[in-house]
């Protein structure tokens, strides 16, 4: 992770780099003199409208449809976690329980493929609109879930997850659409819904995945056919895939396009013409968007996502592993219930407090506080493992697990804050592209995070590295670096001046 110096030093150097033309585009975040008590290290400030007493009401109907689309991504990505370790074991590709983490981590290939495609989907949304790209993503997610449920080899499982990433650029476009329908007076409240819905989707996803897995065992009268014995994990995939497809139909019928036609560039010829006649019109080349505000915002977003997804992958693996190697030895149904309860509690916290905390203390404070929670999270994992190996599943173990979940909820609040920085760093006509760049970085972090964390957990256990706790030492170090990077954000979000 790159660390950046003072904002004032960067912008001063940039302003002197070209004597003939302005070194910064007209929409580049400007210094505002309206705020007091801020020094040169926090020169890029928020819009004057942010403190206006007049607040624009959120468009509730469109917001509800966008949140319905938003919930599909965590449903698809999280529903496999309660049973993925059991599924990998049943396929017989892991020689012992300690090696399951290597293969489970490869399921994050979804994020790696998404990293290579999301920027193209996002730039396309700037050119042809958000709605058609969102519909493609929903249909692709639905199809990939059905393929995953019907897979009976590791490679077909992997191919199904890759298909999800290939056809789904929605997570970045969702943030662009949210930026389109909000303004500085209501943006904190609007973006606070994204992690809320993400948590609710994760909770529902793991609940569905845990309770609908192996239906022939749980509901023998209703699922007695041989098909359910051959495909014991198809039912949760069918349920999730069906929901996503229904959402696609709802969005097709009722979602309004959020990109005005004047901001779209439909063909290469019109792109050249409009850029020559109106330099400020239409989506901008990527190289023009790599300003300090964009880069520092995206870097922090990626570091936060790496920590969060690593925790999300590590937790169910620890819950599922046998007690003798430091896990809790829980079945998929209980894992799903724990993760669902965690997601529900986090969503409630977001609804009640996230927007209020941002409005009261500012996005920078909320982001730093959330990132700081990752340090005790990774410190508590080895403590819990040591206790469970010594005494089994005692009340102390459950108390430690509860502390990890509470801290995870605090970590989750950082997302709403960083969404505001990313959105505010972009010119309106290129909002999709900037969010695509952000999601590319985040998808890479989400791809390598679970793979590194779960594989390092297995390696730590196999080789007894640092007593089996090397993975937690590694994650603590990354948390400290992420916290240092977070301090480079200004106190308030950027102010973009459109020409």
At residue 107 the predicted structure's pLDDT band, cuts being 50, 70 and 90, is low
Say if residues 133 and 125 touch (Cβ distance below 8 Å): yes
Task: Determine if residue 342 is left, alpha or beta; phi over 0 gives left, psi from -120 to 50 gives alpha, anything else beta.
Answer: alpha
- Evaluate whether residue 404 is within a structural domain: yes
- Evaluate whether residue 276 is within a structural domain: no
Per-residue pLDDT, averaged over 463-485, amounts to 89
At residue 3 the predicted structure's pLDDT band, cuts being 50, 70 and 90, is very low
Residue 442 backbone dihedrals phi, psi, to 5 degrees: -65, -40
At residue 95 the predicted structure's pLDDT band, cuts being 50, 70 and 90, is low
Q: Evaluate the CA torsion angle 270, 272, 278, 284 in order and state its sign.
A: positive
Say if residues 87 and 212 touch (Cβ distance below 8 Å): no
- Evaluate whether residue 280 is within a structural domain: no
CATH code for position 451: 1.20.1250.20
Q: What is the reported pLDDT for 64?
A: 93
Which tens digits make up the pLDDT trace of 220-274?
Answer: 888 989 899 889 999 999 999 999 999 999 999 999 998 877 655 544 444 444 4
Task: Count how many domains the chain has.
Answer: 1
Which tens digits make up the pLDDT trace of 267-295?
Answer: 444 444 444 544 445 556 777 888 888 89
- Evaluate whether residue 5 is within a structural domain: no
- Evaluate whether residue 24 is within a structural domain: no
Q: Evaluate the CA torsion angle 34, 35, 40, 43 in order and state its sign.
A: negative
For the chain, give the mean pLDDT: 78
Q: What is the reported pLDDT for 116?
A: 81
Neighbouring CB atoms inside 10 A of 122's CB total 30
Q: Out of 165-179, 289-303, 395-409, pick the least confident.
A: 165-179
Q: What percent of the chain has pLDDT over 70?
A: 80
HEC letters along 329-393: CCCHHHHHHHHHHHHHHHHHHHHHHHHHHHHHHCHHHHHHHHHHCHHHHHHHHHHHHHHHHHHCC
What domain range is 356 assigned to?
58-259+286-486
**Rounded to the nearest 10 degrees, how much is the dihedral formed by the CA atoms of 208, 211, 216, 218?**
-150
More confident residue, 158 or 277: 158
- Evaluate whether residue 41 is within a structural domain: no
Q: What is the reported pLDDT for 345?
A: 81
Q: Out of 144-158, 202-216, 436-450, pick the least confident.
A: 436-450
Which tens digits make up the pLDDT trace of 368-413?
Answer: 999 999 999 999 988 888 888 888 888 998 999 999 988 988 898 8
In this predicted structure, the answer to whether residue 322 has a pLDDT above a threshold of 60 is: yes
The residue behind tokens 């999800």 is 164
């Amino acid at each position: 992770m790159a660390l950046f110096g003072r904002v004032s030093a960067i912008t001063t150097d940039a302003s002197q780099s070209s004597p003939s033309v302005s070194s910064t585009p007209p929409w580049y975040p400007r210094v505002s003199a309206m705020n007091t008590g801020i020094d040169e290290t926090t020169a890029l400030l928020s819009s004057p409208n942010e403190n206006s007493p007049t607040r624009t009401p959120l468009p509730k109907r469109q917001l509800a449809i966008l949140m319905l689309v938003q919930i599909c991504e965590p449903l698809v990505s999280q529903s496999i976690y309660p049973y993925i370790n059991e599924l990998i074991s049943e396929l017989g590709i892991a020689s012992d329980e300690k090696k399951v983490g290597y293969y489970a981590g490869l399921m994050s290939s979804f994020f790696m493929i998404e990293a290579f495609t999301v920027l193209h989907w996002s730039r396309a949304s700037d050119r042809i609109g958000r709605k058609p790209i969102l519909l493609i993503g929903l249909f692709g997610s639905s199809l990939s879930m059905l393929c995953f449920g019907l897979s009976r080899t590791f490679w077909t499982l992997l191919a199904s997850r890759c298909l999800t990433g290939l056809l789904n650029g929605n997570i970045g476009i969702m943030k662009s659409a949210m930026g389109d329908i909000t303004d500085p007076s209501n943006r904190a409240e609007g973006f606070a819904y994204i992690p809320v819905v993400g948590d609710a989707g994760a909770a529902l996803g793991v609940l569905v995945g845990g309770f609908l897995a192996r239906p022939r065992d749980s509901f023998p009268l209703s699922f007695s056919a041989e098909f359910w014995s051959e495909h014991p994990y198809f039912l949760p995939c069918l349920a999730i895939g069906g929901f996503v497809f229904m959402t696609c139909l709802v969005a097709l019928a009722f979602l309004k396009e959020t990109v005005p036609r004047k901001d779209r560039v439909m063909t290469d010829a019109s792109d050249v013409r409009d850029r020559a006649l109106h330099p400020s019109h239409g989506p901008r080349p990527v190289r023009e968007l790599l300003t300090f505000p964009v880069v520092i915002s995206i870097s922090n977003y990626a570091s936060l996502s790496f920590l969060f997804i690593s925790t999300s992958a590590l937790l169910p693996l620890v819950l599922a592993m046998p007690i003798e190697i430091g896990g809790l030895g829980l079945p998929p149904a209980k894992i799903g219930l724990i993760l669902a309860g965690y997601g529900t509690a986090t969503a409630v916290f977001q609804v009640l407090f996230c927007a209020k905390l941002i409005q009261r203390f500012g996005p920078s404070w909320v982001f730093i506080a959330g990132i700081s929670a990752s340090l005790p999270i990774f410190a508590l994992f080895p403590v819990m493992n040591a206790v469970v190996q010594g005494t089994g599943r005692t009340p102390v173990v459950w108390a430690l697990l509860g502390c990890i979940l509470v801290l995870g909820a605090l970590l989750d609040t950082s997302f709403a804050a960083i969404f505001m920085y990313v959105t505010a760093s972009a010119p309106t006509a290129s909002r999709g592209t900037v969010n695509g760049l952000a999601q590319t970085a985040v998808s890479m972090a989400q791809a390598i995070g679970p793979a590194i964390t779960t594989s390092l957990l297995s390696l730590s256990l196999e080789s007894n590295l640092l007593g089996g706790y090397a993975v937690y030492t590694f994650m603590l170090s990354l948390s400290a670096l992420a916290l240092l990077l977070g301090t480079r954000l200004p106190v308030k979000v950027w102010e973009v001046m459109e020409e």
